[in-house]
Amino acid sequence: MADDVADVSGVAAYMAADVGEALEKLPTFKRLRKGLLFGEQGVGANEVDIHDLCNQQSKDLIDRLVKVVDEDNEKFLWKLRERIDRVGLELPTIEVRYEHLNIVADAYVGSKALPTFANFMTNFLEGLSETASLPPEVLVRSAYTLPSPDLTRGISLGLPGSGKTTLLLALAGKLDSSLKIRSLVTGKVMYNGHEMNEFVPQRTTAYISQHDLHVGEMTVRETLEFSARCQEVGSHYEILAELLRREKEANIKPNPDIDIFMKAAATEGQETNIIIDYVLKLLGLEICADAMVGDEMIRGVSGGQNKRVTTGEMIVGPCKELFMDEMSTGLDSSITYSIVNTLRQSVQILNGTAGPREDVLAFFESMGFKCPDRIGVADFLQEVTSKKDQQQYWMRRDEPYRFITSIEFAEAYRAFHVGRKLWDELAASYDKSKSHPAALTTQKYGIGKKQLLKACIEREFLLMKRNSFVYIFKFTQLLIMALITITLFFQTDMPRDTMDDGEKYVGALFFGVVIIIFNGGFEIALTVFKLPIFYKQRDLFFYPSWAYAIPSWILKIPITFVEVGLWVFLTYYVIGFDPNPARYRKKMAMQNKDQVTFSNFLFP
């Protein structure tokens, strides 16, 4: 029996070698589409087309590469890095600098902030006066305005309202455009020496919001797939093509599993399989991959899983910078550690961007504050700047304690050896010629217009199928109303001689038109409910507004024809309208026009 196994393994290895040599002889373009896929326990190597990988093959490959995330992911990343280093290929890196960044926003306090009609009108008129540069004394102000913290003078750590989200949004290039128009943002943020107007920061960076906004009717996998489909693969394809070219010149044969993973991740249209399975495994979402995300009205995944979906929605894309706003909220300590550890491995091994933190405790010890062994570093950093909690960490018992402000900490950091070194590095401007061509994204959207429209159409059609009960309910409601209508306007010998006689027919026509129009009124609620998700994905440059609006309008037209046809078919002859077929078609066309006009109002 052992001899038989040895023979089978030897034959498999021989066949794999033959297939591998055949792959190496292919041109670079064709090798990008081909891979060597092994079966279980490395037996049964087959040449496969990357586009033909099925979901099960993708899952099996991920299980072989990363069986246990905490143990195997680092080994997997090192294999990726070793393959890249063997041919001397340079990975794109990003350095983020900000200088004299200051953001000021007005916020109403007290009763002035209440959303009443009187406050709205007062605030609106005050805004007009500021725009027109009128003296502020013209209007009565019932509240003061509070500016947000100056980001260059020190940032309070941890406390709500201290400017953490504002700072992250500013660095990610996702501040409200009205702030820039009103000149409330000063200073500049640079990526590799390039200012924000020289590239597209919304697609170069990934801002992960503290708010979880997802379409409740979609599953976890579908949510990540739509995100990956809109963001596409970025520069991965060009980098992989150069990697394969250098390997062929150096006669280097890569690990088959690593090779097929990188090809699947960099091939357009295929990343929705391999990358999605990889991210689901990293975030511990495999168990709920096919469960609805859910919302306030639909039961779905838990709050912690929803938070991980928010993270996964962004890291499935090609963005090289992550700005994560309270990503651990709602997560238990083990999951948080696993995610942070995974991100740390990715940053350290694949040359990601992160701030230094090794000497943070040494700095505070030089200031007289020591973190006890029983306290976590994160908790210590939050409390050491708080006036209420700072004194408990004072370690210089021979000196009197006094409260040290954040500004004093910032000034002392410049004199600290780490701060001096950092300050010297920042004093020299970044050499733009050292920036990798693939580091900064210059295209506004990840895929073409047709592909964006196709993706939005398929998602809208999916949501319509998930909401099929609502449409069935609409048709049932329309049927009941039609039956009631034909009993009310049942065909009798209605005269047609006077104006009063015509009012009966006009009443029936008007009632039919109103029923058809308002039967589609439920779309308003669905549209308004999805607006926050639309704003989020639009601002992240997943798609433009027209790509979202057109499918929502076009796909509703067949439903409109069915509704109008059902109503007219049941009521037209029973009520007693003109039996001429031409009049029948004219009435249907009129009601369809009214309904489509109303649909245009719903989805402009």
Mind listing the pLDDT tens digit for each residue in 410-456? 889 888 988 888 888 878 888 888 888 888 888 888 888 898 999 99
Which residues, other chains included, contact 268 with Cβ-Cβ below 8 Å and sequence gap of 6+? 232, 233, 237
Residue 440 placed within a domain: no
User: Is 154 a residue whose pLDDT tops 50?
Assistant: no
pLDDT band at 369 (very low <50, low <70, confident <90, very high): very high
- Cβ distance 527 to 603 under 8 Å? yes
User: Is 483 a residue whose pLDDT tops 80?
Assistant: yes
Q: Measure the CA–CA gap between 370 and 380, rounded to whole angstroms.
A: 9
Number of neighbouring beta carbons within 10 Å of residue 235 = 17
Least confident segment among 228-242, 374-388, 420-434: 228-242
**Single-letter amino acid, residue 206:** A
Q: What is the mean pLDDT of residues 471-485?
A: 88
208 with 135, same domain: the answer is no
User: Is 249 a residue whose pLDDT tops 70?
Assistant: yes
What pLDDT does 130 receive? Answer: 61
Q: What is the mean pLDDT of residues 100-112?
A: 72
Q: Measure the CA–CA gap between 259 and 327, rounded to whole angstroms.
A: 32
Least confident segment among 121-135, 139-153, 399-413: 139-153
| pTM confidence score | 0.79
208 with 330, same domain: the answer is yes
Q: What is the mean pLDDT of residues 177-185?
A: 62
Residue 205 placed within a domain: yes
Q: Measure the CA–CA gap between 156 and 381, rounded to whole angstroms.
A: 10
pLDDT band at 291 (very low <50, low <70, confident <90, very high): very high
Q: Measure the CA–CA gap between 190 and 486, rounded to whole angstroms.
A: 70
Residue listed under structure tokens 């708080």: 386
User: Is 151 a residue whose pLDDT tops 60?
Assistant: no
Could you say which of 139, 160, 191 is where a domain stops? 191
- Cβ distance 366 to 142 under 8 Å? no
Q: What is the mean pLDDT of residues 532-551?
A: 91
Instruction: Return the percentage of the chain with pLDDT > 90, whole number.
Output: 10
What pLDDT does 16 receive? Answer: 47
Q: Measure the CA–CA gap between 439 and 351, rounded to whole angstroms.
A: 12
pLDDT band at 180 (very low <50, low <70, confident <90, very high): low
230 with 311, same domain: the answer is yes
* Between 336 and 161, residue with greater pLDDT: 336
144 with 159, same domain: the answer is yes
Buried b (16+ CB within 10 A) or exposed e, 475-513: eeebeebbeebbeebeeeeeeeeeeeeeebbeebbebbb
Tens digits of residue pLDDT in 159-168: 455 577 888 8
Domain range enclosing 172: 96-191
What pLDDT does 543 receive? Answer: 92
User: Is 22 a residue whose pLDDT tops 70?
Assistant: no
pLDDT band at 214 (very low <50, low <70, confident <90, very high): very high
Sign of torsion over alpha carbons 504, 506, 511, 516: positive
Q: Measure the CA–CA gap between 168 and 111, rounded to whole angstroms.
A: 30
Could you say which of 191, 224, 242 is where a domain stops? 191
User: Is 142 a residue whose pLDDT tops 70?
Assistant: no
* Between 4 and 547, residue with greater pLDDT: 547
Q: What is the mean pLDDT of residues 340-367?
A: 83
User: Is 2 a residue whose pLDDT tops 70?
Assistant: no
* Between 365 and 34, residue with greater pLDDT: 365
Cα distances (angstroms) measured from residue 94 to each of 193, 362, 442: 10, 27, 14
What's the mean pLDDT when you consider all of the chain?
78
Could you say which of 373, 393, 415 is where a domain stops? 415
83 with 197, same domain: the answer is yes
Least confident segment among 15-19, 147-151, 156-160, 297-301: 147-151
60 with 201, same domain: the answer is yes
User: Is 139 a residue whose pLDDT tops 60?
Assistant: no
What pLDDT does 590 receive? Answer: 64
Residue 432 placed within a domain: no
What pLDDT does 43 receive? Answer: 54
Cα–Cα–Cα angle for 95, 336, 276, rounded to 5 degrees: 75
Residue 166 placed within a domain: yes
364 with 458, same domain: the answer is no
Cα distances (angstroms) measured from residue 330 to each of 166, 289, 335, 338, 343: 21, 19, 10, 14, 18
**Single-letter amino acid, residue 114:** L
Least confident segment among 53-67, 495-509, 565-579: 495-509
Domain count, the chain: 5
Q: What is the mean pLDDT of residues 336-353?
A: 83
Instruction: Return the percentage of the chain with pLDDT > 70, whole number.
Output: 78
31 with 132, same domain: the answer is no
209 with 323, same domain: the answer is yes
Any idea of the CA torsion for 578, 583, 587, 590, to the nearest 10 degrees? -150
Residue listed under structure tokens 């943070």: 360
312 with 260, same domain: the answer is yes
User: Is 134 a residue whose pLDDT tops 80?
Assistant: no
Which residues, other chains included, contact 106 with Cβ-Cβ below 8 Å and sequence gap of 6+? 145, 146, 147
DSSP 143-204: S-B-PPPPTTS---SS-TTSSHHHHHHHHHT-S-HHHHHTT-EEEEEEETTEEGGGS-HHHH
Structure-token pair, residue 132: 């027109």
Residue 424 placed within a domain: no
Residue 213 placed within a domain: yes
Least confident segment among 130-144, 385-399, 482-496: 130-144
Residue 435 placed within a domain: no
186 with 331, same domain: the answer is no
Residue 429 placed within a domain: no
What pLDDT does 8 receive? Answer: 35
pLDDT band at 524 (very low <50, low <70, confident <90, very high): confident
456 with 491, same domain: the answer is yes
CATH of the domain at 76: 3.40.50
Q: Measure the CA–CA gap between 261 and 66, rounded to whole angstroms.
A: 12
